[in-house]
Structure 1
Amino acid sequence: MTRINTQEDVPEIGTEEMLQLEQGDVEEEIEYWKQAVVCFILGANPPWEVVEGFIRRIWTRYNIDKISFMPNGIFLVRFKTMEMKEKVLASGHYLFDNKPMIVKSWEWDLEMNKEGVKCVPAWIRLHKLPLKFWGKGLPKIVGIVGKYVKSDTATEERTRLGFARVMVELVVDQDLPAEIAFKDEQGIVDHIEIEYEWKPIKCKKCQGMEHE
């Protein structure tokens, strides 16, 4: 006997319950990507092959398992162990052609975009810096501009005295002075010219990076 559908048999539009996934539906992928970092280069979007070669070169000793890329210039690098991932995150700052490569730990709720960056590393040059300031005073002097990170080898070994080259952390929307002024140990004011090898550019309209 054929059953005839009545009006009561047809569900009303919009009354169906929304699908809800369970933890077991996602935990395998979450566990897989826990050993990954998310990275992208500010101020540039080089070809995939170039970035892959760069990443494999700088992290060659960290047992990379896989490098994956997204169309918006973001890369996911998965390591074979959590220990290797943590070592990469603790290794410091990375620069690609003087532009900062931002590295973050992958988290399941991490938004995969280039926004939200507040501080970036950059190399600066202090021209005609008197020799007496190349020691303990140097981190204090560059602290006027940003947080001192490190000096390059030639600056540490004092083999190139035309300028001191220092990496600092800059706030992306801060003013970047062409020179800084400070008082020396005798109270005399010194003016030092600063050259930025790369400057963070932040859009005043959308607050995004890499364009004005």
Structure 2
Amino acid sequence: MTTASGFMIFRFQREEQMQEILERGPWLFGGKAIILQPWHPLFVFDKNRISKLPVWIRLHGLPFSLWSREGLSLVSSMVGHPLSCDEATFNCTRLDFARVCVELDATQPFVHSFEINTPLSNTPLHIEVEFEWKPLRCAKCQLFGHSCKQAEQEKTKEDAQLIHEEGNMALTMNGTNTGSKGFRVFRSDDIALFACYLDLSKPTSNRPR
């Protein structure tokens, strides 16, 4: 189904089908990215007002002690709002990286790395963040899907500041309950999905899946 504002709504007969589609994203067609996420009743179908997007990231250097629902939820919150992880990450059947889906907020700059202070190590652990797809972000409007020319200079300054500050970004593990409410293996709250087309920006290298 399509809406007047250009969104598409997909329905699935079985939840497993939806889970497979979500896990295999991001989906690219003709140089465009299709953003998929579960539908919710309060969503506003307006492509010009997209301030939050779900994006799959890969966390490199994550200690195995944090490969749990609680640990992944806490660590990925350094990048965005944690939503889910794929089955291979949850079952620890692929140990090269942890693959997590987070909701990015357009009001916040991208986080490419951070450190974890943990009792398990005398020195902070450095975590590298790889975005499987990085959406175009307007620093001026604080929205996804476009970039105002007037905002380019602001974005350059913001990125430079982010690079300067990244070395000081750290997550301290103190052994308390991290909490993982809302974090799932895949995101499967609803059967209906919505999708919108956005211009592809800063694609990552073509990598084998």
Scaled by the length of structure 1, what TM-score is found?
0.50
Alignment gaps of 5+ in structure 2: 29-33, 148-209
Distance 1:76 1:131, change over 3 A: closer
Deviations 1:154-194 (A, max 9, x none): 00111110000011111023111221112113463111111
Q: CA RMSD in A?
A: 3.4
2 CA distance for matches of 1:210 and 1:162?
31
Distance 1:166 1:190, change over 3 A: same
What's the offset of the Cα at 1:204?
4.0
Distance 1:104 1:114, change over 3 A: farther
Aligned structure 1 segments of 4 or more residues deviating by more than 6 angstroms: none
Confirm or deny: 8 A CA contact 1:127 1:163 kept in the other structure.
Answer: yes
1:115 corresponds to which of 48, 59, 64: 48
Computing the radius of gyration over CA atoms, which structure comes out larger, 1 or 2? Answer: 1
Alignment gaps of 5+ in structure 1: 1-66, 79-83
Quick one: higher RCO (CA 8 Å, sep 6+), 1 or 2? 2
AA in 2 matched with 1:202? R
Deviations 1:49-74 (A, max 9, x none): xxxxxxxxxxxxxxxxxx2454x633
Distance 1:169 1:130, change over 3 A: same
What's the offset of the Cα at 1:115?
2.0
1 CA distance for matches of 2:128 and 2:54?
19
**What SS does structure 2 have at the residue aligned with 1:115?**
helix
1 CA distance for matches of 2:135 and 2:129?
15
Distance 1:75 1:191, change over 3 A: same
Tell me if 1:185 matches 2:185.
no
Identify the residue that residue 75 of structure 2 maps to in structure 1.
Answer: 141
Tell me if 1:131 matches 2:61.
no
Distance 1:69 1:162, change over 3 A: same
Tell me if 1:169 matches 2:103.
yes
What's the offset of the Cα at 1:106?
8.5
Confirm or deny: 8 A CA contact 1:122 1:198 kept in the other structure.
Answer: yes
AA in 1 matched with 2:126? H
What's the offset of the Cα at 1:147?
1.4
Confirm or deny: 8 A CA contact 1:146 1:169 kept in the other structure.
Answer: yes
Identify the residue that residue 42 of structure 1 maps to in structure 2.
Answer: none
What's the offset of the Cα at 1:129?
2.0
1:159 corresponds to which of 93, 107, 128: 93
1 CA distance for matches of 2:83 and 2:42?
24
**What SS does structure 1 have at the residue aligned with 2:144?**
coil
Confirm or deny: 8 A CA contact 1:173 1:202 kept in the other structure.
Answer: no
Identify the residue that residue 203 of structure 1 maps to in structure 2.
Answer: 138
Q: Percent of counterpart pairs with the same letter?
A: 33
